[in-house]
């Protein structure tokens, strides 16, 4: 039995990225919150990057699973 670590990593990063992305979108109108980060919405951008990375890991895990069944 082989363990493919891409599936749990993909799920974790997708979930955390989605949470950060939603938090970044809902707090967009609060300029005081992002004053220390040079007014960059760090939650939004890091959530977007984590969501993309998690999605790629899920795609790679599903492709590997399909190629094993052929």
**pLDDT of res. 2:** 74
| Token digits of residue 53 | 């990375």
Per-chain mean pLDDT for the chain? 91
State both tokens at 48: 């977007």
Tokens representing 2? 């082989």
- Domains in the chain: boundaries: 6-69
CB 42, CB 65: distance < 8 Å: no
The percentage of the chain sitting over the pLDDT mark of 90, rounded to a whole number, equals: 67
Q: What is the pLDDT of residues 23-53, one digit of tens each?
A: 999 999 888 888 998 999 999 999 999 999 9
- Tell me if 42 sits within 8 A of 25, measured CB to CB: no
The confidence score (pLDDT) of residue 1 equals 55
């Amino acid at each position: 039995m082989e363990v493919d670590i891409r599936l749990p990593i993909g799920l974790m990063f997708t979930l955390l990225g989605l949470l950060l992305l939603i938090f970044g979108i809902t707090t967009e109108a609060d300029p005081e919150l992002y004053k220390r980060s040079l007014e960059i919405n760090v939650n939004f951008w890091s959530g977007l990057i984590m969501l993309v990375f998690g999605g790629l890991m899920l795609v790679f895990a599903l492709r590997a699973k399909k190629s094993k069944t052929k």
